[in-house]
Amino acid sequence: MPEAAFADAAARLRPLDEGARAAARVRHDQLTKPPGSLGGLEELGAQLAAISGRCPPPVPQSPAVAVFAADHGVAVAGVTMWPQDITAQMVANFVAGGAAINVIARQVGAAVHVVDVGVAAELGDEPGVRDHKVRPGTASLADGPAMTETEAMTALDAGAEVAAQLAGEGHDLLVTGDMGIGNTTAAAALVSVYCDRPASDVTGPGAGSDADTVARKVAVVAAAADRARRQNEPVAVLAEVGGLEIAALAGFVVGAAAARVPVVVDGVITLAALAAADAIVPGVGAHCIAGHRSPEPGASAVLEDLGLEPILDMGLRLGEGTGGCLAVAIVQAAARVLGEMATFDALGG
Amino acid sequence: MPEAAFADAAARLRPLDEGARAAARVRHDQLTKPPGSLGGLEELGAQLAAISGRCPPPVPQSPAVAVFAADHGVAVAGVTMWPQDITAQMVANFVAGGAAINVIARQVGAAVHVVDVGVAAELGDEPGVRDHKVRPGTASLADGPAMTETEAMTALDAGAEVAAQLAGEGHDLLVTGDMGIGNTTAAAALVSVYCDRPASDVTGPGAGSDADTVARKVAVVAAAADRARRQNEPVAVLAEVGGLEIAALAGFVVGAAAARVPVVVDGVITLAALAAADAIVPGVGAHCIAGHRSPEPGASAVLEDLGLEPILDMGLRLGEGTGGCLAVAIVQAAARVLGEMATFDALGG
């Protein structure tokens, strides 16, 4: 891999193939069903055609979810109900196959790849974890910059590199996943800045905070976002209030888009990463597929700003890639419908 | 099979196992995730526990979709843009494997079973079609009763019998499907009566009718529903304004519930059937899983009245079981999460 995987991916990104999208829509109107009657599944198929540049698009056969894990210094600022060492425990759980993402991935036939970009614990040679640790957790964004711009760039590169590797290994559908106690605070701050929303509009309870915790979280997010707004460059915003796994996820979606592999984004953490990615590489958001609508308010802000219509809306707020992974069979079906359905002409109708 | 498969199934129906549902909720709070963070997937798992009487519930391994096909005399009354012979053509398409339901079923590993309960064409010995033809299409519900009560009962029996057969063949997850040009008119009339809603609130464009056609459809539905409201028995309502495939679907869901096999209901046609089933066998609606929310207004009326929360909301309005079938992997994942996820105790957390 080149040193600067992210810059390389950004340079290789090509526009979506709108001709293939239009061809998919024409084909949908020839299939044995009333035009438009498959609703969102038709638009999803057209998006897959635009991503792949082919109509019908290839049916993804080998999905993979990449779970980026990192810790957040802000976790000790009273913004979460969970102790920070849960991050490392959950990484061990991912490796052992006992987490929700493992179970859902098994159901849809997806491989799970765990990437350490900044867990605040020595994972040693934990088998099954890709080591891209940039630093052992960010500094607290409540007190100052979460990381340096160089560290943010290193995490962006790690994400882009993992996407290129997974695509190179034959994975033809990628799903984004995250683990990091405290990361909904960083995500809310990023969304507040990139989507220009007040902190109170984009900060939620995350993985189940009580009202006092949410109130502290809003104050932390508001102060951090105010600070980040003074930065002129989107990477500087990411460094100021982001997270290592969030930066890596931003790199991952750009890497996937550059490789023309469809990427299903999960909940509010990836959506914050996607807002960052789209600020750094304008237009990359349109290359993605939104797996679900998280109830976290920041998720809807990004979906709205990027014009993405999520596949599922089941109130999932776990992260790990669970919402994205649950949508995999629907993405596969959307491609398959375009390739395998009969036309009225063929039916003699 | 006994002669009266429907009455037999209704007699065998047992209450949902609320103890197993409660056990599933307790177990969900022990799993390695914040309590409630899997949202609707947790409730779906609890419903599978209540249906099966086991926690964790068995993971469905052999799904099947039953597509009930029949014609509607009302199709010639200007309520649809499609010629009636599309019904028979689509049955041939189902058998050939080229319809949307075939493609989606292949994606999720579901078998497709086609049942003729009243197609207005001689299908002969079309291989792959179960012959339960009650009559070659209903009479027009615009002019009088669509069928006799005896015919409605025969169709209810056919549906219950097919459910028992599929369960007996080892299918452990059933999906409802329908085909019948004109059937959204019958469905709207049934929903108007069973859910006590004005015709204009529950009548939509179906598979793509224009405004003039919808206006004619509302008038036909209103007049038919007024007539049906004078009937005292729910089976008489079904005979007056229903359809043969709708009656069979009502029988099918009761048969599935009696066999304690989870049944995923599709769009407005099955939901109208479910409203009928719930009127005939009070409480059976709560045994079902709603696969998706059809944009047809009648669908939401039934979902609301029966307290069902659909899994998907993708604007599908094709029928055939497509929306139910698309949700299959999610239903399987809901069961699997309860059975396979680690607990925090086991994690040592």
Of B33, B37, B98, which is closest to A341 when you measure between CB atoms? Answer: B98
pLDDT digits over A265-281, tens only? 999 999 999 999 999 99
Of B311, B328, B348, which is closest to A314 when you measure between CB atoms? Answer: B311
Q: Per the CB < 8 Å rule, is B41 touching A92?
A: no
CB A123 within 8 A of CB A71: no
Intervals of chain A under pLDDT 70:
1-3, 348-349
Provide the chain B residues 263-322 that lie in CB contact (below 8 A) with chain A. Answer: 295, 311-318, 322
Where residue B309 falls among pLDDT bands split at 50, 70, 90?
Answer: very high
In B137-186, the DSSP E strands lie at 173-179
B347 near A CB under 8 A: yes
What pLDDT shows up at residue A37? 97
The total of other beta-carbon atoms located within 10 Å of residue B83's CB is 12
- List the one residue out of A253, A328, A319 whose CA is nearest residue A69: A319
As a whole number, mean pLDDT of residues B237-258 equals: 98
Q: Which DSSP string corresponds to A215-265?
A: HHHHHHHHHHHHHHTT-SSHHHHHHHH--HHHHHHHHHHHHHHHTT--EEE
CB contacts < 8 A, A to B, total 161
Tell me which amino acid residue A217 is. Answer: K
Those residues with Cβ within 8 angstroms of residue B109's Cβ, 6 or more apart along the chain or in another chain:
B63, B328
Tell me which amino acid residue A82 is. Answer: W
What pLDDT shows up at residue B206? 87
As a whole number, mean pLDDT of residues B233-254 equals: 98
Active site residues of B: 320
- List the one residue out of B60, B158, B156 whose CA is nearest residue B110: B60
- Considering only B36-45, B120-129, B161-170, B334-343, which range has the smallest mean pLDDT? B120-129
To probe the interface with B, which of A91, A269, A312 has the most B CB atoms within 10 Å? A312
Q: Per the CB < 8 Å rule, is B318 touching A33?
A: yes
Those residues with Cβ within 8 angstroms of residue A63's Cβ, 6 or more apart along the chain or in another chain:
A108, A109, A110, A111, A171, A172, A173, A174, A175, A325, A328, A332
B62 near A CB under 8 A: no
Q: Per the CB < 8 Å rule, is A342 touching B38?
A: no
What pLDDT shows up at residue A2? 45
Q: Per the CB < 8 Å rule, is A340 touching B103?
A: yes
What pLDDT shows up at residue A324? 98
pLDDT digits over B146-189, tens only? 999 999 999 999 999 999 999 999 999 999 999 999 999 999 99
A40 near B CB under 8 A: yes
ipTM for the assembly: 0.97
What pLDDT shows up at residue A3? 58
Query: What share of chain B has pLDDT > 90, as a percent?
Result: 92
B207 near A CB under 8 A: yes
Rounded Cα distance between A266 and A324, Å, is 4
Where residue B2 falls among pLDDT bands split at 50, 70, 90?
Answer: very low
Rounded Cα distance between A204 and A223, Å, is 16
pLDDT digits over A276-328, tens only? 999 999 999 999 999 999 999 999 999 999 999 999 999 999 999 999 999 99
What pLDDT shows up at residue A347? 78
How does strand B289-290 pair with strand B263-265? parallel
Alpha helices in chain A (DSSP H): 5-12, 18-28, 39-52, 86-96, 100-108, 149-168, 183-194, 199-202, 211-228, 234-241, 244-258, 268-280, 297-306, 322-326, 328-340, 344-347
Where residue B3 falls among pLDDT bands split at 50, 70, 90?
Answer: low
Rounded Cα distance between B35 and A282, Å, is 37
Rounded Cα distance between B124 and B111, Å, is 22
Q: Per the CB < 8 Å rule, is B32 touching A98?
A: yes
Rounded Cα distance between A5 and A112, Å, is 22
As a whole number, mean pLDDT of residues B256-267 equals: 98
Given a cut of 80, whether residue B333 has pLDDT beyond it is yes
Q: Dmax of chain B from CA atoms? A: 70
Given a cut of 90, whether residue B135 has pLDDT beyond it is yes
CB A177 within 8 A of CB A324: yes
Where residue B74 falls among pLDDT bands split at 50, 70, 90?
Answer: very high
Given a cut of 90, whether residue B78 has pLDDT beyond it is no
Provide the Cα torsion A151, A152, A156, A158; round to 10°: 30
What pLDDT shows up at residue A136? 97
Q: Per the CB < 8 Å rule, is A336 touching B106?
A: yes
Selected residue with higher pLDDT from B208 and A62: A62
What pLDDT shows up at residue B207? 80
B104 near A CB under 8 A: yes
What pLDDT shows up at residue A1? 42
First to last CA, chain A: 53
